[in-house]
Amino acid sequence: MDGAPVVSHAKTPGLLEGMRLYLRSIAALVWKDLAAELRSRELLSAMLVFALLVILIFNFALELDTRTRATVTAGVLWVTFAFAGTLGLNRSMAMEKDRGCLDGLLLAPVDRSAIYFGKAIGNLIFMILVEVIVLPIYSVLYNINLFQGGLLLVILLGSLGYVAVGTLLSAMAVQTRTRDILLPILLFPVAIPVLIAAVKSSTGFLQGLEMAEISPWLNLLLVYDVVFIAVAFMVFDYVVEE
């Protein structure tokens, strides 16, 4: 009777301390990526220029009426986000490899899943920053209101799913010589469900459809996010093993 409370109290501080160490490791990795980007501005500027170039090309190529624009807007947006996100995912992990930081991270005394979450959160922040800049510019060019609560939720969920699987695959592709070509080849087939669900959900909100028609696609986005985050958590350690 006397021993049971002692064991319980002994385990709890250790578990909490381990969780705090895990979260601090993730926060340190995110801060490292943000600080490095603030100094160099290589990754975010490349993603932003690419995204703006895509929407400008579509703007001049598609001279459409207002109703048709509401139909194609979701597709144009997600093509822009997907291509810019792929560029960011590729460069993010490649810079770690080229600077020798990846080996140091793998040797650090932390769970390797913390490396995955740190890189994924950093990539998600960069992707969201690009989207924050792209959305108002797109709204002005296409004369369409993109600042709707449902649409913003879809963009967040879609970006989360895309980054979740993209970070895992970029860690796999960075070990090869053809990493710039290999990542899109691996990523786009796996990301098709999240892109289709994101486009369908976005179109539904832009066209003012009933929630009953949009909810299946939103549910698919949620399931995709949960499944691939869980899969990445379990297999990242094996992926980064050489």
Could you give the CA distance from residue 230 to residue 201 in angstroms, rounded to a whole number?
A: 23
Q: Who contacts 88 (Cβ-Cβ below 8 Å, separation ≥6)?
A: 43, 44, 46, 47, 123, 126, 127, 130
Whether 226 shows a pLDDT value over 90: the answer reads yes
**Alpha carbons within 13 A on the beta-carbon side of 208:** 2
Contacts of 103 (CB under 8 A, 6+ apart): none
Top-ranked range on mean pLDDT: pick from 32-36, 225-229, 234-238? 225-229
As a whole number of Å, the end-to-end CA separation of the chain is: 49
Residue 145 has a pLDDT of 83
pTM of the full predicted structure?
0.86
The dihedrals phi and psi of 34, each to the nearest 5 degrees, come to: -65, -40
Residue 133: partners with Cβ closer than 8 Å, 6 or more residues away: 48, 51
Over the stretch 48-87, which tens digit does the pLDDT of each residue have?
Answer: 888 988 888 887 777 666 666 667 888 889 999 999 998 8
- For residue 9, pLDDT over 50 is answered with no
Name the amino acid, one letter, at 157: L
User: Could you tell me if 105 and 32 are in contact, meaning their C-beta atoms sit under 8 angstroms apart?
Assistant: no
Which domain, by its residues, includes 85? Answer: 3-239
**Number of structural domains, the chain?**
1
Q: Using the 8-state DSSP alphabet, how is residue 110 labeled?
A: S
The model's confidence at residue 242, banded by pLDDT at 50, 70 and 90, is low
**217 neighbors 201 (Cβ within 8 angstroms):** yes
Among 43-47, 61-65, 100-104, 151-155, the range with the most confident prediction by mean pLDDT is: 151-155
